[in-house]
């Protein structure tokens, strides 16, 4: 492993490829002891490249080169140079065929990049740079080729052989082997290549496109999962229909395949015509998947499907442009989810993730722009900034242009760039050209890191009836970036009168037909807006629906927040007002004397939410969730985690004690009264019930305990069963906790996806997930270091969700994490690097914690032979 000073890659060094590959002919011989890969590349010099005498440079990683021939003539050792990670052939003609044979060992591949084995099947993961672990190739997304792939394997062990495109040939071979040949008619970058070989069952479905073509939909899973495919296939059909209706995008091949694999670094992958999924992101049954899992599956199936246009047909020029496909596709999948369920709830969930995790990333040592300008290891750049902030940037374009012009822009983008590898700038230009708007300042969102801060002040001139609003924007410094320019920000707002009625927003005296909501545009460091014709001082409803990814400061009074919580016509802002109020109340109790009063109006407001059944129950279910510890830490200057934890617990318990009877009534009112279904209302009711249960158990309520035990036993779905389990696990009823955990494991021990949930309920619990218990989980027979989901379920959940247990003042939690990172770094560097994340935030914490976090990072830094992945994260975290 390259441990000394890995190289930094710069966007400014981008050069078009010197050679293009038009066609790739692959033949895989798969065996138990390894695989032989025969590749024939049809190569020509790139007419766009001015690097005329350039050698042919192919990437390769851990490959054994068996043979190499140019136009059929074997090359001698002095005609090429094998540099370990590159194969260089100095002297090549204008056009030629290169034949390469490599030997690889998928059975020993624990990094899960390239070709590897997962529970007995062969599968691939090539994004971002995994194809170079399969064969020598120019592994960069601007080299697009047509692929033909022949797979040969033992027929009985691997009856199913899959790759991209259409199957054009199949047959038997000697020694009980067989082959299938696939051809993909669309040129694609090698990161979209995929291969699967295994003993899988096939579930079929079909979809008729709006132009009348019938698409074969096929899902492949291990036989034991045959009854968990319906939801993914239904989600896929909904996504296909939606993309036709909303974006005018139709599917282009005759077959669309989905495969589920247990060992997978990410959630899922959009390989052309052959999407590969982490089992936990695609398999579902009523008995094994929670509502959240059902929704996640629908979103991920859609996301990967949407990539067929935003990513595959139009792809990225280089990996600095990653957000071109990921940000846009996350925006598309979030619009889809909003349309399939409750749009307000979806927005709340997206913003919660953004504000809790992306804002933290943007304020820390790993902060980078949506289009980074350098990286060491690209796998580290599949970040919340690229994904979530990238999606917010596209959403802002949607806000600025409106739905019609935005659609015109996306049509132009897809038509103009079909079959090309392009940049985020090409995307913005298409939006610009279609709308006629100047987006030059808007482009700064791709270049400047850090979360803008908006500070709003207001005053009311009663004599003139004018309400004046001043909005100032500032941009924090981030690593390598200071003195930033102001952003172009869409700022949605409304004004309410004292009865909660929306007021017309008259920007001038004579503005008669004024709307009650406006999308203002901020482009300067400070703006002042005047609203005319007002009889009283209004209450402002600012940044509606979170119209831009910014921090918003306004001196709300608790009175105003209570008012907005019940009156704002914007559902998102109603929720946001509640969150701001709860944050204010909790913050005022951090480190305060024990007898400090909890704001009584918070109790009144929550009582109203719990009892008024006429309110939108999906919104209420969200409003009842107190701000998370992670969010409170993000908002703090020098976070004292135990103090934050205690203050939050105090508020939760105070609410539960004050509203005890209402919670029991709420629980009973929301009892399941009909067959299980996944409508937003049914999901909201389960959420309300489980919140009520959790709160009752937090105060050791005996009736709550009985309800939880009964629900755990009688539940007909996983949401309720695990909701009851979680409530019991987080309670003081130790016997009930242990019994429930044991019986749950007994029941589901053969289902890896449920066992993962069982691990994470414990690892995230401050009762069941203290360090000694976490160590015990790591030695549990069902734990497996080779399976990323298990590692995430225990180590990731402990460090990322069980914050009071992780942040021990003696640093034991940090040392534990450092130990696990070092251990994983040798087998799976991508997962190891991701696990470091909680430590990268070390500067956020109170001094005693901070120093010990830094010490843990230094311990990782000093490990011999550190991977490039962990090297980058640790060194950048310690820098500055």
By CB under 6 A, residue 268 contacts ligand BES: yes
Touching ligand BES, residues 280-309 (CB under 6 A): 299-300, 303-304, 307
Query: Beta strands 268-269 and 274-278: pairing type?
Result: antiparallel
Active site residues: 304
Task: Lay out the site mask for Zn ion across 458-497 (x = CB under 5 A, - = otherwise).
Answer: ----------------------------------------
Taking the complex as a whole, the smallest distance from the CB of residue 269 to ligand BES amounts, in Å, to: 5
Residues binding ligand BES: number (CB under 6 A): 16
Residue bearing tokens 């077959």: 255
Taking the complex as a whole, the smallest distance from the CB of residue 288 to Zn ion amounts, in Å, to: 25
Taking the complex as a whole, the smallest distance from the CB of residue 665 to Zn ion amounts, in Å, to: 44
Interaction partner, residue 267 (ligand BES, Zn ion, none; CB < 5-8 Å by kind): ligand BES
Interaction partner, residue 561 (Zn ion, ligand BES, none; CB < 5-8 Å by kind): none
> Which residue's beta carbon is nearest to the bound Zn ion?
326
Nearer CB in complex with ligand BES: 326/576: 326
Query: Beta strands 551-553 and 453-461: pairing type?
Result: parallel
Touching ligand BES, residues 676-715 (CB under 6 A): none
Q: Cβ(638)–Cβ(846) under 8 Å?
A: yes
Nearer CB in complex with ligand BES: 326/640: 326
Task: Lay out the site mask for Zn ion across 11-40 (x = CB under 5 A, - = otherwise).
Answer: ------------------------------
Query: Would you tell me how many other CB atoms lie within 10 Å of the CB of residue 822?
Result: 17
Cis peptide before 128 (omega within 30 of 0): yes
C-alpha–C-alpha distance, residues 74 and 53, integer Å: 22
Q: Which of 137, 220, 319, 382 binds ligand BES (CB under 6 A)?
A: 382
Taking the complex as a whole, the smallest distance from the CB of residue 316 to Zn ion amounts, in Å, to: 11
By CB under 6 A, residue 326 contacts ligand BES: yes
Residue bearing tokens 């402990």: 798
Nearer CB in complex with ligand BES: 239/768: 239
Cα Rg of the chain, angstroms = 28
Interaction partner, residue 268 (ligand BES, Zn ion, none; CB < 5-8 Å by kind): ligand BES
Q: Rounded to whole angstroms, what are the CA distances from 24 to 53, 175, 182, 418, 560?
A: 24, 27, 12, 21, 64
Taking the complex as a whole, the smallest distance from the CB of residue 392 to ligand BES amounts, in Å, to: 14
Taking the complex as a whole, the smallest distance from the CB of residue 388 to Zn ion amounts, in Å, to: 12
Residue bearing tokens 């009909």: 674
Nearer CB in complex with ligand BES: 267/465: 267
Q: Which of 34, 159, 267, 479 binds ligand BES (CB under 6 A)?
A: 267
By CB under 6 A, residue 388 contacts ligand BES: no
- How buried is residue 443: exposed, middle or buried, by Cβ count under 10 Å (0-12/13-18/19+)? middle
Taking the complex as a whole, the smallest distance from the CB of residue 425 to Zn ion amounts, in Å, to: 20
Taking the complex as a whole, the smallest distance from the CB of residue 651 to ligand BES amounts, in Å, to: 33
Question: What strand order describes the sheet that includes 81-82?
Answer: 56-59, 86-89, 81-82
Q: Is the dihedral of CA 368, 373, 375, 378 positive or negative?
A: positive
Taking the complex as a whole, the smallest distance from the CB of residue 307 to Zn ion amounts, in Å, to: 6
Interaction partner, residue 269 (Zn ion, ligand BES, none; CB < 5-8 Å by kind): ligand BES
Nearer CB in complex with Zn ion: 329/711: 329
| CA 392 to chain CA centroid, nearest Å | 13
Give the torsion through C-alpha atoms of 623, 704, 667, 607, to 10 deg: -50
Nearer CB in complex with ligand BES: 246/878: 246
By CB under 6 A, residue 792 contacts ligand BES: no
By CB under 6 A, residue 642 contacts ligand BES: no
Residue of 828, 813, 840 lying closest to 869 (CA atoms): 828
Query: Beta strands 177-188 and 145-154: pairing type?
Result: antiparallel
The pairs formed by 466-469 with CB atoms below 8 angstroms and a separation of 24 or more are: 466/530, 466/531, 466/532, 466/534, 467/495, 467/530, 467/531, 467/534, 467/537, 467/538, 468/528, 468/529, 468/530, 468/531, 469/493, 469/528, 469/529, 469/530, 469/531, 469/540
By CB under 6 A, residue 145 contacts ligand BES: no
Residues binding Zn ion: number (CB under 5 A): 2
By CB under 6 A, residue 484 contacts ligand BES: no
C-alpha–C-alpha distance, residues 839 and 842, integer Å: 6
Task: Lay out the site mask for Zn ion across 313-332 (x = CB under 5 A, - = otherwise).
Answer: -------------x--x---
Q: Cβ(682)–Cβ(676) under 8 Å?
A: yes
Nearer CB in complex with Zn ion: 198/372: 372
C-alpha–C-alpha distance, residues 390 and 492, integer Å: 19
> Which residue's beta carbon is nearest to the bound ligand BES?
267
Q: Is the dihedral of CA 368, 374, 375, 380 positive or negative?
A: positive
Nearer CB in complex with Zn ion: 164/762: 164
Taking contact as CB under 6 A, which single stretch among the options 114-122, 165-173, 260-268, 517-525 is the one that binds ligand BES? 260-268
Task: Lay out the site mask for ligand BES across 564-603 (x = CB under 6 A, - = otherwise).
Answer: ----------------------------------------
Touching Zn ion, residues 328-387 (CB under 5 A): 329
Q: Is the dihedral of CA 789, 793, 797, 799 positive or negative?
A: negative
Nearer CB in complex with ligand BES: 330/400: 330
Supply 694's token pair.
């959790």
By CB under 6 A, residue 269 contacts ligand BES: yes
Give the torsion through C-alpha atoms of 385, 438, 373, 381, to 10 deg: 20
Supply 41's token pair.
């590349």
Nearer CB in complex with Zn ion: 325/685: 325
Torsion region of 155: left, alpha or beta (phi above 0 gives left; psi -120 to 50 gives alpha): alpha
Interaction partner, residue 300 (ligand BES, Zn ion, none; CB < 5-8 Å by kind): ligand BES
Task: Lay out the site mask for Zn ion across 635-674 (x = CB under 5 A, - = otherwise).
Answer: ----------------------------------------
By CB under 6 A, residue 266 contacts ligand BES: yes
Q: Rounded to whole angstroms, what are the CA distances from 335 to 302, 422, 559?
A: 11, 23, 33
C-alpha–C-alpha distance, residues 13 and 56, integer Å: 18
Taking the complex as a whole, the smallest distance from the CB of residue 301 to Zn ion amounts, in Å, to: 12
Taking the complex as a whole, the smallest distance from the CB of residue 387 to Zn ion amounts, in Å, to: 8
By CB under 6 A, residue 825 contacts ligand BES: no
Interaction partner, residue 266 (Zn ion, ligand BES, none; CB < 5-8 Å by kind): ligand BES
Q: Cβ(701)–Cβ(650) under 8 Å?
A: no
Interaction partner, residue 634 (Zn ion, ligand BES, none; CB < 5-8 Å by kind): none
Nearer CB in complex with ligand BES: 300/799: 300
By CB under 6 A, residue 270 contacts ligand BES: yes
Q: Cβ(730)–Cβ(697) under 8 Å?
A: yes
Between CA 116 and CA 109, with CA 225 as vertex, the angle to 5 degrees is 10
Task: Lay out the site mask for ligand BES across 111-140 (x = CB under 6 A, - = otherwise).
Answer: ----------------xx------------
Question: Helix 660-669 vs helix 600-611: angle between axes, to the nearest 10 degrees?
Answer: 20
Taking the complex as a whole, the smallest distance from the CB of residue 653 to ligand BES amounts, in Å, to: 35
State the residues that interact with Zn ion by CB under 5 A: 326, 329
Which residues lie near ligand BES (CB under 6 A)? 127-128, 266-270, 299-300, 303-304, 307, 326, 330, 382, 387
């Amino acid at each position: 492993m390259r441990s000394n000073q890995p190289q930094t890659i710069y966007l400014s060094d981008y050069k078009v490829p010197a050679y293009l590959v038009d066609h790739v002919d692959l033949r895989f011989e798969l065996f138990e002891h390894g695989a032989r890969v025969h590749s024939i590349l049809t190569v020509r010099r790139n007419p766009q490249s001015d690097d005329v005498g350039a050698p042919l440079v192919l990437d390769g990683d851990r490959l054994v080169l068996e043979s190499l021939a140019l136009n059929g003539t074997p090359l001698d050792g002095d005609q090429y140079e094998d540099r370990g990670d590159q194969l260089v052939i100095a002297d090549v003609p204008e056009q030629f065929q290169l034949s390469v044979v490599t030997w690889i060992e998928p059975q020993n591949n624990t990094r899960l990049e390239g070709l590897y084995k997962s529970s007995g099947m062969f599968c691939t993961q090539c994004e971002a740079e995994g194809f170079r672990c399969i064969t020598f190739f120019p592994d960069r997304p601007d080299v697009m080729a047509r692929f033909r792939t022949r797979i040969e394997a033992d027929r009985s062990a691997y009856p199913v052989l899959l790759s991209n495109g259409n199957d054009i040939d199949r047959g038997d071979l000697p020694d009980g082997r067989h082959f299938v040949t696939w051809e993909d008619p669309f040129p694609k970058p090698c990161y979209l290549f995929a291969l699967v070989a295994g003993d899988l069952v096939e579930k079929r479905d079909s979809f008729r496109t709006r132009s009348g073509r019938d698409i074969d939909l096929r899902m492949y899973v291990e036989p034991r999962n045959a009854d968990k495919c319906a939801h993914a296939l239904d989600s896929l059909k909904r996504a296909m229909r939606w993309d036709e209706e909303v974006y005018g995008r139709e599917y282009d091949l005759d077959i669309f395949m989905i495969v589920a694999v247990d060992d997978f670094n990410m959630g899922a992958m959009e390989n052309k015509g052959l999407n590969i999924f982490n089992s936990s992101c695609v398999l579902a049954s009523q008995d094994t998947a929670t509502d959240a899992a059902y929704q996640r599956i629908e979103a991920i199936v859609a996301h990967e499907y949407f990539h067929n246009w935003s990513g595959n047909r139009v792809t990225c020029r280089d990996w600095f442009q990653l957000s071109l496909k990921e940000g846009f596709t996350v925006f598309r999948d979030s619009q889809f989810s909003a349309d399939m369920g409750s749009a307000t709830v979806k927005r709340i969930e997206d913003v919660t993730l953004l504000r809790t995790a992306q804002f933290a990333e943007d304020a820390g040592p790993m902060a980078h722009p949506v289009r980074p300008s350098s990286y060491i290891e690209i796998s580290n750049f599949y970040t919340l900034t690229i994904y979530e902030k990238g999606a917010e940037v596209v959403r802002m374009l949607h806000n600025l242009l409106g739905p019609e012009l935005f659609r015109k822009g996306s049509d132009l983008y897809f038509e103009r760039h079909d079959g090309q590898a392009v940049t985020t700038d090409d995307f913005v230009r298409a939006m610009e050209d279609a709308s006629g708007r100047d987006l030059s300042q808007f482009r700064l969102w791709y270049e400047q890191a850090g979360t803008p801060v908006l500070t709003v002040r207001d005053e009311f001139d009663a004599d003139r009836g004018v309400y004046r609003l001043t909005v100032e924007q500032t941009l924090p410094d981030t690593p390598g970036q200071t003195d930033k320019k102001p952003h172009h920000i869409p700022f949605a707002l409304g004004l309410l009168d004292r009865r909660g009625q929306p007021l017309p927003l008259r920007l001038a005296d004579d503005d008669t037909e004024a709307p009650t909501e406006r999308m203002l545009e901020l482009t300067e460091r400070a703006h002042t807006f005047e609203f005319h014709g007002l009889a009283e001082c209004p209450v402002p409803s600012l940044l509606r629906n979170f119209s831009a990814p910014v921090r918003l400061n306004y001196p709300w009074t608790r009175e105003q927040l209570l008012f907005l919580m019940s009156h704002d016509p914007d559902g998102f802002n109603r929720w946001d007002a509640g969150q701001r109020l709860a944050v204010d109340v909790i913050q005022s109790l951090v480190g305060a004397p024990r007898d400090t009063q909890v704001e009584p109006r918070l109790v009144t407001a929550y009582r109203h939410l719990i009892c008024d059944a006429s309110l939108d129950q999906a919104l209420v279910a969200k409003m009842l969730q107190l701000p998370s510890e992670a969010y409170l830490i993000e908002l703090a200057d020098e976070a004292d985690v135990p103090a934050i934890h205690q203050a939050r617990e105090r508020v939760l318990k105070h609410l539960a004690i004050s509203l005890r009877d209402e919670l029991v009534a709420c629980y009973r009112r929301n009892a399941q009264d009909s067959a299980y279904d996944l409508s937003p209302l049914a999901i909201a009711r389960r959420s309300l019930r489980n919140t009520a249960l959790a709160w009752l158990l937090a105060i050791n309520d005996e009736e709550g305990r009985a309800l939880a035990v009964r629900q755990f036993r009688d539940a007909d779905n996983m949401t309720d069963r695990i909701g009851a389990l979680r409530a019991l696990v987080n309670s003081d009823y130790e016997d009930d906790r242990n019994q429930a955990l044991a019986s749950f494991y007994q029941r589901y021990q053969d289902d890896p996806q449920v066992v993962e949930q069982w691990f994470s309920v414990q690892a995230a619990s401050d009762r069941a997930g203290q360090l000694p218990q976490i160590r015990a989980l790591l030695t549990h027979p069902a734990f497996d270091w080779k399976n990323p989901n298990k590692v995430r379920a225990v180590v990731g959940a402990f460090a990322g969700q069980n914050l009071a247990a992780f942040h021990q003042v003696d640093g034991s939690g940090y040392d534990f994490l450092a130990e696990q990172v070092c251990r994983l770094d040798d087998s799976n560097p991508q997962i190891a690097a991701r696990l470091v994340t909680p430590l990268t935030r070390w500067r956020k914490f109170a001094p005693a914690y901070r120093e010990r976090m830094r010490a843990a990072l230094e311990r990782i830094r000093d490990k011999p032979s550190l991977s490039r992945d962990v090297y980058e994260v640790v060194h950048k975290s310690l820098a500055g």
